[in-house]
Amino acid sequence: MRLLGLSAAMSALITIVTAAALRASDPALAVIAVAAVTVLLTWYARLHADDDHPVLGLANPASATTLAAVGRRSWSTLLPTWTAHVLGAVLGGVAALGLGDRWGDPLLFDADDLVIAGVGAAIVGLVGAWSTLALDASGPDALAAVPVAVAGGILPLGLIGTFSPSVVLGLAAADLLAWDVALVAAGSGLLAAAVGGWIVGFLIPAAD
């Protein structure tokens, strides 16, 4: 239960940070801010590591899905994990919505195309699967920034949250994305996280 609460809190925090970053003076600053907080949360999650509780899923439900796909965590843990992340992100989005007037107007972006959202989230999800498995094999925490950088580099800025399926739903709650776009991106990202895990898993050995 403690870890589920931590998952919800992390998704709430990264959603608020992402919503605030979308009001930065420059798109590059937005990507850097989100990437930096993602790395920080990944580092913090790994402080809780032990043999019985894979912790990369604390910061991102896509990571939990990838680890389940390659047998590094139980599928039975995913539904509670997904639920915690979504609840946290939506609450974070509602909080960001309430703070929006103080933060000012978001940067202009076009993020209404369902095809771009679905395909883009799938690409980011595949990259995220590689990043997750590399982190699980004791890679550096900075690898957590790679999916954020890819999302910020190939997609409209409003879809930067595709690195985490819960964050895109939180951005919809913050009224920064349409719900249909967010749902397509979240579903595509989760599916890609699982498929990417199967594809990449045999290339990266499990951590000892």
**pLDDT for 143-176, tens place per residue?**
999 999 999 999 998 899 999 999 999 999 999 9
Q: What is the Cα–Cα distance from 149 to 143, expressed in whole angstroms?
A: 10
Q: Which helix (H) or strand (E) holds 32?
A: helix 27-46
The pLDDT of residue 105 is above 80: no
Computed over every residue of the chain, the mean pLDDT equals 89
pLDDT of residue 108: 62
> Both tokens of residue 48?
């809780």
- Tens of pLDDT, residues 18-37: 999 998 878 899 999 999 99
Domains of the chain: 2-201 (1.20.1080.10)
The pLDDT of residue 114 is above 80: yes
**Confidence class for position 73, pLDDT limits 50, 70, 90:** confident
pLDDT of residue 50: 60
- Tens of pLDDT, residues 181-205: 999 999 999 999 999 999 886 766 5
Helical segments of 47-77, H only: 61-69
Q: What is the rounded average pLDDT of the residues 53-82? A: 87
Q: How far, CA to CA in Å, does 125 sit from each of 191, 192, 202?
A: 8, 5, 17
Q: pTM of the entire structure?
A: 0.89
CB neighbours of 107 closer than 8 A, spacing ≥ 6?
22, 23, 24, 27, 30, 157
CB neighbours of 187 closer than 8 A, spacing ≥ 6?
118, 165
